[in-house]
């Protein structure tokens, strides 16, 4: 932030270019609008028929649900938060409307049901807001837990698709405001934008931006930061509710799973629209444009007849290009990095680089460390770590005792422990990679398809033979290292948000896995790998011994090495770390490489566990990998956390799932319980 204002202050044309500045301010929105217009024109040009009013109306309604939901997500992200419950709320509202509307009443009141939908969304938002703003828990965990709870509730309301939504809803939301000229969905978007432009100028809006830019400073200035954060989640919930009402109108019925796949696209829409993840910059207008860009890309791929295998790659490319174009300017990270590189080359030529000087120690006498350090008690040294690590382990013990009481056979034999340790090994490995990334303040969303691609490549390459491992493993891990390198370079060199880079990477890897496997992964895991995961060595599954070594190495790597200390330093303050001589870029790139390598290891082990690889094998591990790290006591914004806690988190989640799987509870209740336990674990973590 500070160097930005410095460089703009250095330009002499500062006063005269007020309009230029506001243009720059809206650069992302303008780029998004231009991209959308370009794509629309391209789409119209490719279609054999001219674009009719009907087509425009349909396009407008097609993107509306995700646009409304993404608008809600925008508010939360502006406040510096993150809302994973968006899709689940859309499903819940759809399910409630479809089950409670009277099929005999074709003319159900639109305002009433809209209010009910928005009200449900706001109620969920209030729960989120309470835990984030009042209890002060980390948004990502709160909304993750609420997501599980809401998904469970939705299945309780409606076990399977069906139900009835009165056509009066559709005629209002999908009809025409001015027949032949203005379709209703466009009016709805215009109303949303108008409301947003008004809201932005109110006290609430100003505080929202202030909180998102710097929550501490906002509070210190006397702004009602907490009230605004709470209100933001409630408002966002209301918008998800409205999206649920819209989808109900659009489909005329209910489906308990309809909104779940909306979650990741809402982030993409927010980011394409120029809102900064982390808060403080952006707006709803850009997001709505972003949602429609994503939608028109789908139509475009169809018109161009792009093979389905390439569609996720194309979408990721659009995401990256839109974000890069929206942020391109003289002081953007990319141009800064390019300047740095040219400077460094020039300095090297003149022999000015620090590394080119002689290695003599020029330290002054008083900087020499003291001969004797004061002895610290164990608690003084580790108390801080313990306070964040212990809650996960305590919760684990509680779950174990509960399991013994409900199902038995926990403390009487090895079988339970063997199963628990084997099943938790995947999450424990992912926790190291995801944990290291989170410690630096990033997030790796490319795990699912890194896992799947690695597993699919491994089984494809080994040909079912043990000897094949010798060539296949190096290839798999080399590819993973390249994936991590690309992620890291995207974050460091292009200056993009980690979420954008890794989300796009996930799409690219998905395409790569599909192309590589042709849709069905071939081959098997070799016998030795299967033995590792399912065999027995003196009654113990061999992977448990491997995990013991892995855990020891992980604790040493993060806690006892220079690399580990640099990771924490970067997470606490990247600027401070850089000024202290840490090569922050290299550290950040390394954690993404570490994360990709961990994902590859999980892909390999999962292939051994199942005997073969499947394309969806990584899907169930993304959100748990984040949950494990946070439940284990790490701060999602980086700088705090210990691997021992994350390990406890992995065991806790797996033990919890084992307990729920063993009971005869319906899936809906299990989901609710799972969410409640995550919430409880993080409440226990609170200071």
Partner 1 sequence: MIKRYIAGAACALGLVAGAAQAQSDGPYKVYLSMSYIGNDWQAEASNMVKALAASKDYADKVDLEVQVAGPNAQRQIQQINAMVQAGADAIVVYPISPTALNSVVKSACSRGVTVIAYDAEITEPCAYNVTIDQEEAGRKTAEWLVDKMGGKGDVVMVTGVPGTSVDTARTKAAKEVFAQHDGINIVGEAVGMWSQAVARTELNKLMATRDWSDINGLWMQVGCYTADSMQLEAGRDPSELLPCAGEGSNGGRIQMLPADTAVEGASKPYAPMGAPRISYASPPYSGALALKLAVDKLEGQDIPKHTTLPLPLVTNETVQLCETGSWDEQKAGCNVFQPSMVSNPGWFASIFSEDLPQLGLNAALVGQPEN
- 314-373 residues near partner 1, rule: CB under 8 A: none
Q: Is 505 in the site for partner 1 (CB under 8 A)?
A: no
Size of the site for partner 1 (CB under 8 A): 87
Calpha distance 547→551 (Å, rounded): 6
3-state helix, strand, coil in the chain (%, to 5): 75, 0, 25
Work out how close the CB of 597 gets to partner 1 at its nearest, in angstroms, rounded to a whole number. 22
**Residue 383 vs 666, nearer CB to partner 1:** 666
Q: Which of 617, 626, 681, 682 binds partner 1 (CB under 8 A)?
A: 617
Name the H helices within 16-85. Answer: 18-25, 27-46, 53-78
Q: Which of 84, 210, 245, 258 binds partner 1 (CB under 8 A)?
A: 258
Work out how close the CB of 83 gets to partner 1 at its nearest, in angstroms, rounded to a whole number. 18
Calpha distance 554→628 (Å, rounded): 15
Q: Is 54 in the site for partner 1 (CB under 8 A)?
A: yes
Phi-psi region of 374 (alpha: psi -120 to 50; beta: other; left: phi over 0): beta
Work out how close the CB of 65 gets to partner 1 at its nearest, in angstroms, rounded to a whole number. 6
Q: Residue 107 phi/psi, 5° resolution?
A: -110, 45
**Residue 133 vs 295, nearer CB to partner 1:** 295
Provide CB contacts within 8 A for 243, sequence distance 6+: 65, 66, 68, 69, 72, 90, 93, 259, 262
Q: Residues 395 to 434: which contact partner 1 by CB under 8 A?
A: 403, 407-410, 415-416, 419-420, 422-423
Q: How far is CA 141 from the centre of its chain?
A: 11
Q: Residues 294 to 313: which contact partner 1 by CB under 8 A?
A: 295, 298-299, 301-303, 305, 308-309, 311
Q: Nearest-CA neighbor of 301 among 573, 479, 46, 80?
A: 46
Q: How far is CA 221 from CA 134, 216, 387, 526, in A?
A: 19, 9, 31, 63
Calpha distance 318→323 (Å, rounded): 8
Work out how close the CB of 252 gets to partner 1 at its nearest, in angstroms, rounded to a whole number. 5
Work out how close the CB of 66 gets to partner 1 at its nearest, in angstroms, rounded to a whole number. 6
Give the single-character DSSP code of 132.
Answer: I
Q: Residues 460 to 479: which contact partner 1 by CB under 8 A?
A: 464
Q: Is 261 in the site for partner 1 (CB under 8 A)?
A: yes
Q: Is 247 in the site for partner 1 (CB under 8 A)?
A: yes
Q: Residues 156 to 195: which contact partner 1 by CB under 8 A?
A: 158-163, 170, 174
Q: Which of 119, 278, 495, 662 binds partner 1 (CB under 8 A)?
A: 662
Q: Is 85 in the site for partner 1 (CB under 8 A)?
A: no
Contact region for partner 1 (CB under 8 A) — 246-254, 353-361, 368-376, 550-558? 246-254
Q: Which of 348, 519, 545, 560 binds partner 1 (CB under 8 A)?
A: 519
Work out how close the CB of 627 gets to partner 1 at its nearest, in angstroms, rounded to a whole number. 17
Q: Is 600 in the site for partner 1 (CB under 8 A)?
A: no
Q: Residues 524 to 543: which contact partner 1 by CB under 8 A?
A: 524, 534-535
Calpha distance 551→647 (Å, rounded): 8
Q: Is 394 in the site for partner 1 (CB under 8 A)?
A: no
Provide CB contacts within 8 A for 180, sequence distance 6+: 53
Q: Which of 33, 55, 108, 394 binds partner 1 (CB under 8 A)?
A: 55
Identify the H or E element spanning 182: strand 182-183
Tokens encoding 370:
């003291």
**Residue 156 vs 557, nearer CB to partner 1:** 156
CA angle 99, 265, 279 (to 5 degrees): 110
């Amino acid at each position: 932030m500070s160097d930005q204002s410095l460089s703009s202050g250095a330009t002499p044309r500062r006063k005269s270019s007020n309009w230029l500045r506001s243009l720059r301010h809206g650069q992302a929105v303008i780029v998004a609008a231009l991209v959308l217009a370009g794509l629309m024109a391209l789409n119209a040009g490719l279609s054999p028929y001219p674009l009719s009013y009907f087509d425009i109306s349909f396009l407008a309604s097609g993107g509306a649900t995700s646009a409304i939901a993404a608008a809600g997500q925008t508010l939360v992200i502006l406040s510096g938060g993150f809302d994973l419950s968006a899709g689940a709320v859309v499903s819940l509202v759809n399910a409630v409307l479809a089950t409670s509307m009277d099929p005999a009443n074709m003319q159900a009141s639109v305002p009433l049901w809209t209010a009910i939908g928005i009200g449900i969304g706001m109620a969920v938002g209030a729960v989120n807001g309470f835990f984030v703003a009042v209890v002060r828990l980390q948004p990502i965990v709160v909304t993750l837990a609420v997501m599980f709870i809401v998904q469970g509730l939705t299945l309780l309301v409606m076990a399977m698709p069906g139900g009835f939504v009165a056509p009066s809803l559709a005629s209002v939301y999908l009809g025409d405001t001015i027949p032949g000229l203005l379709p209703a969905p466009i009016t709805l978007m215009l109303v949303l934008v108008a409301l947003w432009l008004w809201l932005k100028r109110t006290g609430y809006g100003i505080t929202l931006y202030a909180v998102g830019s710097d929550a501490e400073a906002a509070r210190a200035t006397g702004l009602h930061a907490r009230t605004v954060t709470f209100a933001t989640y409630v408002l966002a919930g209301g918008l998800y509710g409205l999206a649920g009402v819209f989808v109900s109108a659009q489909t005329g019925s209910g489906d308990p799973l309809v909104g779940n796949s909306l979650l990741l696209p809402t982030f993409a829409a927010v980011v394409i629209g120029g809102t900064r993840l982390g808060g403080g910059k952006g707006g709803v207008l850009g997001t709505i444009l972003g949602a429609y860009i994503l939608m028109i890309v789908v139509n475009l791929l169809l018109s161009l007849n792009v093979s389905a295998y390439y569609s996720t790659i194309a979408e990721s490319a659009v995401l990256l290009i839109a974000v890069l174009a929206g942020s391109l300017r003289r002081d953007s990270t990319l141009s800064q990095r390019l300047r740095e590189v040219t400077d460094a080359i020039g300095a090297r030529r003149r022999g000015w680089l620090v590394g080119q000087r002689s290695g003599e120690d020029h330290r002054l006498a008083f900087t020499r460390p003291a001969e004797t350090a004061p002895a610290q008690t164990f608690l003084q040294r580790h108390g801080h770590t313990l306070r964040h690590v212990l809650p996960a382990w305590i919760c684990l013990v509680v779950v174990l005792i509960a399991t013994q009481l409900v199902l038995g056979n926990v403390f009487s034999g090895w079988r339970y422990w063997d199963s628990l340790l084997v099943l938790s090994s995947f999450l424990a490995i992912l926790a190291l990679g995801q944990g290291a990334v989170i410690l630096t303040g990033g997030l790796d969303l490319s795990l699912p398809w890194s896992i799947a691609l690695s597993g699919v490549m491994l089984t494809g390459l080994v040909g079912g033979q043990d000897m094949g491992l010798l060539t296949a493993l190096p290839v798999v891990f080399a590819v993973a290292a390249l994936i991590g390198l690309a992620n890291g370079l995207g974050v460091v060199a292009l200056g993009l948000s980690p979420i954008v880079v890794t989300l796009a990477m996930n799409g690219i890897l998905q395409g790569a896995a599909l192309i590589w496997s042709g849709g069905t992964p071939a081959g098997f895991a070799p016998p030795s790998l299967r033995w590792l995961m399912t065999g027995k060595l003196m009654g113990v599954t061999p992977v448990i011994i491997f995990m013991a070594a892995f855990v020891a190495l992980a604790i040493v790597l993060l806690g006892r090495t220079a690399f580990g200390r640099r990771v924490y330093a970067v997470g606490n303050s990247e600027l401070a770390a850089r000024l202290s001589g840490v090569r922050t870029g290299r550290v950040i790139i390394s954690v993404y490489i570490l994360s990709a390598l961990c994902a590859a290891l999980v892909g390999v082990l999962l292939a051994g566990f199942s005997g073969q690889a499947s394309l969806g094998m990584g899907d169930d591990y993304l959100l748990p990998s984040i949950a494990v790290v946070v439940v284990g006591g790490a701060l999602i914004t980086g700088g705090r956390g210990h691997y021992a806690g994350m390990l406890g988190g992995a065991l806790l989640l797996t033990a919890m799932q084992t307990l729920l799987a063993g009971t005869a509870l319906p899936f809906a209740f299990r989901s609710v319980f799972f969410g409640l336990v995550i919430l409880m674990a993080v409440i226990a973590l609170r200071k």
